[in-house]
Structure 1
Amino acid sequence: MLNDPDRLFPVEPTLRETARALYDSIKDLPILSPHGHCDPRWFAENQRFPNPAELFVIPDHYVFRMLVSQGVALTDLGVPRADGGATERDPQRIWQRFAEKFHLFRGTPSAMWLEHSFEHVFGLDTPLSAEVAQAHYDHIESRLAQPAYLPRALFERFNIELLATTEGALDDLRWHRMIRDSGWQGRIVTTYRPDAVVDPEFEGFAENLAALGEITGEDTTTWAGYLAAHRTRRAVFKEHGATASDHGHPTARTEDLGAEAAAALYDRVRSGQATAEEADRFRGQMLTEMARMSLDDGLVLQIHPGSRRNHSATVFDRHGRDKGFDIPGRTDYVAALKPLLDAVGLEPDLTIILFTLDETAYGRELAPLAGAYPALKLGPPWWFFDSYEGIKRFREATTETCGFYNTAGFNDDTRAFCSIPARHDVARRSDCAYLATLVCTGRLREAEAFELAHDLTYGLAKAAYNL
């Protein structure tokens, strides 16, 4: 299946031929990955990946949340506990459990990504199952011991032109410095993610503010000093290659308070006495403040709202953040973004990339907003919708209203390094299938489709993220 040259193309012959021609014109373009969560330490130290379970199962919430949904405990999959308690340590046992349940992924994007990685990265063409689990494990393990499978070698083999990681505002960026000082030419850049010092409901918020003051030399007990600390950290991140900031807020709410009201709100959240409403208002104010900072320093502002994070208190308490129990929720953009857009939405030199987990907002809200405000671009389908069907629905819902050039191309937003080529291949095939439909129904000239295939694959991301 994965070697089928027409995978994901329409079945109608004329459409398929057109999609294939479009894809052939862009399939070998370099990968731009301007937003993701790979670990920069991999490329700084360039040590072998520990084992197949550490590479494919333990860090991938797409994988383990599906297994948990079928009764497999996170501890049986080696997912660390927040308290350091007992969890499975034997990677071969973890892999066997994964293989026994691999059929659960049938029809999902995860199956496509995993099988693409097994086949095209590791040379395995037999489907994973309980019967072949040990043989697959041994094969991948033997490959991981080879120099050609070290992180930097895979980066080059995957034809990645740029890979952005994501670090918190308090990160010392040591791994990025190590990469820079190593002389290796692979382009790994950071992204400024300040949630821990922007979200009053983030654990340890008061301590985080104090740490922000210490590392910047600014007085974060004052509103002016707090804003100055962010500017200082953003400058440091830019020195380490950052072209964007990223903000994972529960809602898309924005505010544009006057200086006095904003300072009073900051004092309230800093004291630890803020209500949930005040915390949300503060997050909203900080999106507008970050947009203004972006006008000064050029960082692209990414907003990832709508994830109801840590939905299971039990999983959060036992395993901490980012362990697969984040759930999409309805998100209001038209009213929520109005204060921000009133302040900076008409700025042609500002780029705000909007993502969503609420597909119902595409045609009703997001496309009309991006089709009007010069500062706005639509990010690609994210998380639960990073898939063939999700990309198709995105194009169908947004293109007629905001066109292609008010979107930001594709980014993979992944922690699973070996899935990057698979995800980009799915996006390229999905977009070429959609373009073929436009050509064959008389809505797009063929020459325009070839230009657009290049732009959707490469040009739009390069422009949107100032690469």
Structure 2
Amino acid sequence: MTEPKTSENPERAAVPVRAAPLNLHEDRLLPSEPRTRGIARELYAAVRDRPIISPHGHVDPGMLLADEPFADPTSLLVQPDHYVTRMLHASGISLAELGVGRGPLPEDKARQAWRMLCGNWDLFRGTPMRYWFDSELGGIFGVTERPSAQNADRLYDQIAAKLAETAFRPRALLAQFGIEVLATTDDPSDGLLAHQAIAADPTFPTRVIPTFRPDRYLEPAGAGWVGDVDRLGRSAGTEVGDFTGYIAALEERRRFFIANGAVSADHSHFDLRTTPLEPSEAARIYSSARVGEATDAESTAFRRHMLLEMARMSCDDGLVMTVHPGVHRNHHPATFAAFGGDTGHDIPVATEYTNALQPLLERYGTHPNLHLVLFTVDADAFNREIAPLAGFYPSVYIGAPWWFLDNPTEIRSFQRSVSEIAGLSRLSGFIDDTRAFCSIPARHDMSRRLDAGFLAELVAEHRLDLDEAIDSLSDLVTAQPRKVFKL
């Protein structure tokens, strides 16, 4: 474990150290060239206070419904944020000591985890996590000192005191953040009781909607697949002993989600191939998988066929289809065994789109009811494949840089290359995709500043007029995500 950094001289370490200020500069992330920066300031001011549209994320709706005070700074700002914990882990800090995969820690353990974060603050220099954290600490909690080993406990106490106030409970923060729509990610068998209760409350400040996430039900090779499918059947009131019943159960649960506000179905598989099977072959593999006799190759072929089936269902019922492929999940088996999934050890792989999606787009690419939003963690795929696809198929939209690409450098590269190939109208708008509740406004603010900077360059180069740039930025912030996600 890497201990928080302190002076090697114990006498010097005992002397109070004046904390460096936490500086939220008004021009952060805007262009450095003075004339362009002036244009960017004007553009950013036009959208700074626009409502947040968050059509894909992972906040727990039960937490929002309960509206209980957050337990402590660590459980709110550190434990759920695998962007943060993975970087600390890479420097030798144990995930166990950070409380990853656990609920709130006892106070002494929570404080110790917080000290590890503050004492290793330098690890985040130059990263988007530093930008988000500065915005959270300064913009939400009024912190004015840069975290360090020396002030860790003082900052912990300051934030903990804020969390005890009514103004810092989940619903109040939703209103403070200006979140108009917040989508969660939900299991198709979920009863959506929290969503129903939120929707029934006329005082709730935000439209909170579920998202249909069927990955585990489409992967026969996954552990517990048969039990998962049986549970799906029970929730749908449908017998799933054969392939026909299985398809009917998925369709019924999609209808249930739509009735409870869902606008999209999200898919995250290793690859994006959509190779069709004959109906009889799909039914045969399904029956084999039910008794544990499907081969790995058959299970993969079944999943690829089912992604095609998901597109057909989206054409029928109108759910937007978002896909997040190309991630080697749970790359470190020992970490997965100890802490579970989504704990920082998912690693990108190169991903192919053009040939993989051709069967799907041949059938449904011009269907008026299909919106297909393509995400990637393979940066080269944006201008090599995704933008050209979106530049032809009316169903295809380009998902915002996501996960490992959600940083200023990659976003700027994305803006310059993708918009020139497909145009701004083919973009999804920003997607925060986060479990870290308080980082939502920081992430959207980063996107707005970067988009303002990009459009300001086009104005400075006389490629756009200022009024066009303001209209385009306003569309990217609100109109485009509403259109793409049928909000």
* 2:75 counterpart of 1:54: yes
What is the rounded CA distance, in whole Å, between the counterparts of 1:118 and 1:124 in structure 2?
5
Matching residue of 1:398: 418
Question: Residues 268-283 of structure 1 correspond to what in structure 2 (within 5 A)?
Answer: 268-283=288-303
What is the rounded CA distance, in whole Å, between the counterparts of 2:86 and 2:289 in structure 1?
34
Q: How many residues align?
A: 464
Matching residue of 1:105: 124
What is the rounded CA distance, in whole Å, between the counterparts of 1:150 and 1:78 in structure 2?
22
Moved more, 57-66 or 90-99: 90-99
Cα drift, residue 275 of structure 1: 2.7
What is the rounded CA distance, in whole Å, between the counterparts of 2:133 and 2:146 in structure 1?
10
CA contact (8 A) 2:97 2:109 kept: no
What's the TM-score once normalised by structure 1's chain length? 0.96
* 2:440 counterpart of 1:420: yes
CA pair 271-147 structure 1, distance change in 2 beyond 3 A: same
CA pair 266-131 structure 1, distance change in 2 beyond 3 A: same
What is the rounded CA distance, in whole Å, between the counterparts of 2:148 and 2:215 in structure 1?
40
Q: Which runs of 5+ in 2 are unaligned?
A: 1-21
CA contact (8 A) 2:314 2:369 kept: no
CA pair 226-324 structure 1, distance change in 2 beyond 3 A: same
What is the percentage of aligned positions where both structures have the same residue? 43
Matching residue of 2:377: 357
Partner of residue 164 from structure 2, selected from 145, 149, 153: 145
Matching residue of 1:332: 352
Matching residue of 1:316: 336
* 2:34 counterpart of 1:13: yes
Cα drift, residue 251 of structure 1: 0.7
Matching residue of 1:174: 193
Q: Which SS does the other structure have where 1:435 is aligned?
A: helix
What is the rounded CA distance, in whole Å, between the counterparts of 2:232 and 2:107 in structure 1?
36
CA pair 2-340 structure 1, distance change in 2 beyond 3 A: farther
Matching residue of 2:113: 94
Q: Which runs of 5+ in 1 are unaligned?
A: none
CA pair 259-87 structure 1, distance change in 2 beyond 3 A: farther
What is the rounded CA distance, in whole Å, between the counterparts of 1:201 and 1:147 in structure 2?
47
Q: Which SS does the other structure have where 1:245 is aligned?
A: strand
CA contact (8 A) 2:185 2:211 kept: yes
Cα drift, residue 88 of structure 1: 9.8
What is the rounded CA distance, in whole Å, between the counterparts of 2:199 and 2:183 in structure 1?
14
What is the rounded CA distance, in whole Å, between the counterparts of 1:268 and 1:153 in structure 2?
51
CA contact (8 A) 1:76 1:87 kept: no
Question: What one-letter code is carried by the residue in structure 2 that aligns with 1:179?
Answer: I
Question: What one-letter code is carried by the residue in structure 1 that aligns with 2:98?
Answer: L
Q: Which SS does the other structure have where 1:32 is aligned?
A: strand
* 2:305 counterpart of 1:288: no
Question: Residues 294-313 of structure 1 correspond to what in structure 2 (within 5 A)?
Answer: 294-313=314-333
Cα drift, residue 2 of structure 1: 4.6
Cα drift, residue 203 of structure 1: 2.2
Q: Which SS does the other structure have where 2:356 is aligned?
A: coil
Question: What one-letter code is carried by the residue in structure 2 that aligns with 1:353?
Answer: V
Matching residue of 2:10: none
Question: What one-letter code is carried by the residue in structure 2 that aligns with 1:147?
Answer: T
Partner of residue 151 from structure 2, selected from 110, 128, 132: 132
CA contact (8 A) 2:39 2:456 kept: yes
Q: Which has the larger radius of gyration?
A: 2
Q: Which SS does the other structure have where 1:405 is aligned?
A: helix
Matching residue of 1:388: 408
CA contact (8 A) 2:101 2:343 kept: no
CA contact (8 A) 1:195 1:247 kept: yes
Cα drift, residue 291 of structure 1: 1.0
Matching residue of 1:76: 97
Cα drift, residue 317 of structure 1: 1.3
What is the rounded CA distance, in whole Å, between the counterparts of 2:289 and 2:463 in structure 1?
52
CA contact (8 A) 1:246 1:303 kept: yes
Question: What one-letter code is carried by the residue in structure 1 that aligns with 2:358?
Answer: K
Cα drift, residue 268 of structure 1: 3.0
Cα drift, residue 439 of structure 1: 1.5
Cα drift, residue 300 of structure 1: 0.2
Question: What one-letter code is carried by the residue in structure 2 that aligns with 1:417?
Answer: F
Q: For the aligned residues, what is the CA RMSD?
A: 1.6
Matching residue of 2:427: 407
Q: Which SS does the other structure have where 1:130 is aligned?
A: coil
CA contact (8 A) 2:328 2:349 kept: yes
Q: Which SS does the other structure have where 1:301 is aligned?
A: strand
Moved more, 325-334 or 96-105: 96-105
What is the rounded CA distance, in whole Å, between the counterparts of 1:217 and 1:457 in structure 2?
40
* 2:45 counterpart of 1:45: no
Moved more, 145-154 or 193-202: 193-202
Matching residue of 1:342: 362
